[in-house]
Each structure stands twice: as structure tokens, then as C-alpha cells.
């Protein structure tokens, strides 16, 4: 399997989901990103078994395939690269070679079949709302998300949004 992606775009997307990855885990596979490549599309999944986060982005790919890539190694490598196209080549043993303008990097990936399956939601209900209504709702409860002066330390990790016929 082979695909080409912009280094800066990939790093930006991975930073959005990397927070769910815990380095002190009982299952080493949870320290990985699951890369799923389809024709011209990349899906990356991260999980801690409680939370699943997923991103999708366009890439240049003619083949499909899956591989688990160690998150810390990949993130550290991407942070040290300038904005450039990267070619990812994955062999049948999940060996990964990343080719950039600066050289080649080799990393051993893991079998994606060992990555936890995404849980299915039982008895789900969905609804549609405008983005402005969602923003207004979040603004209305933003007082609950006050931080202690340190922008990386949040007091609230999640909130529940209740949809009623009278509003959110």
C-alpha cells in the first residue's frame, strides 16, 4: 500500500485526535493510530477504549489498506518536518517507510486487526440542528468551561446537550 499526503495537513489532523491516546496503557496497540486508506481518502482512528476519535482527509492513493502506526513516533517525526509531500509505503509485514524531501524514515507498524473495534451505539437517536443554534447553546454554557489560567488545564472534560421539542 502506498499513499501521498502533505506533512503539515496530516500533523494538523493528527493533533486533533492525539489527545485520546494514553501512553500508560495496558494494551500497547492503544498507543497507535489506525490508518485506513481507500482510493484518495485516509481515515485515522485513535481510541482509549472509552472514547473513539476519527479524522478523514484527502490523499493521493490508488490502493486500499490498513496499518497501525505508533502515535508518538509519527507525531514527533511530523513536527520536525517542513511543509512537504510525504510518501507512505507499507509492506505486507506492516513495515512503514516514510519518504520526504529530507530522507527516508522506517518504522515498524502493527497489524490493524489487533486494533479495538469501534463500539456500536445501542438505541441511538439523531437530530439535526443549525450550526448557529449549536454555537448559541455552547455559548450559553461556556461559563462551565472556565480554565484556571492554564489553557491546557480544563475544569470540564465533557458536557451533555439535551435536545427537547422546545429547544436545546
Determine contact, residues 25/48, Cβ cutoff 8 Å.
yes
Q: What's the mean pLDDT in 44-57?
A: 93
CB of 82 closer than 8 Å to CB of 88: no
Tens of pLDDT, residue by residue over 132-149, are: 887 887 777 766 655 555
pTM comes to 0.74
Q: Which residue has the cell 505508533?
A: 70
Residue with cell 492525539: 18
- Which has the higher per-residue pLDDT, 153 or 32? 32
110, 127 Cβ separation under 8 angstroms: no
Q: What is the pLDDT of residue 90?
A: 95
Domains annotated on the chain, with CATH:
2-114 (3.10.150.10), 125-168 (no CATH)
For 16-47, the pLDDT digits (tens) are 999 999 888 889 999 999 999 999 999 999 99
Average model confidence (pLDDT) across the chain: 86
Amino acid at each position: 500500500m502506498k499513499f501521498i499526503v502533505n506533512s503539515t495537513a496530516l500533523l494538523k489532523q493528527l493533533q486533533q485526535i492525539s489527545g485520546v491516546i494514553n501512553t500508560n496503557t495496558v494494551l500497547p496497540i492503544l498507543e497507535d493510530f489506525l490508518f485506513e486508506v481507500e482510493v484518495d481518502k485516509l481515515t485515522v482512528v485513535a481510541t482509549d477504549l472509552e472514547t473513539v476519535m476519527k479524522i478523514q482527509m484527502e490523499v493521493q492513493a490508488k490502493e486500499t489498506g490498513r496499518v497501525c502506526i505508533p502515535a508518538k513516533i509519527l507525531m514527533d517525526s511530523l513536527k520536525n518536518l517542513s511543509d512537504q509531500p510525504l510518501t507512505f509505503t507499507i509492506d505486507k509485514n506492516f513495515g512503514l517507510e516514510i519518504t520526504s524531501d529530507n530522507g527516508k524514515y522506517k518504522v515498524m507498524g502493527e497489524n490493524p486487526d489487533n486494533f479495538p473495534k469501534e463500539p456500536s451505539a445501542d438505541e441511538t437517536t439523531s437530530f439535526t440542528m443549525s450550526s448557529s443554534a449549536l454555537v448559541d447553546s455552547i455559548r450559553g454554557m461556556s461559563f462551565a468551561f472556565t480554565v484556571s489560567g492554564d489553557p491546557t488545564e480544563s475544569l470540564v472534560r465533557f458536557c451533555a446537550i439535551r435536545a427537547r421539542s422546545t429547544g436545546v
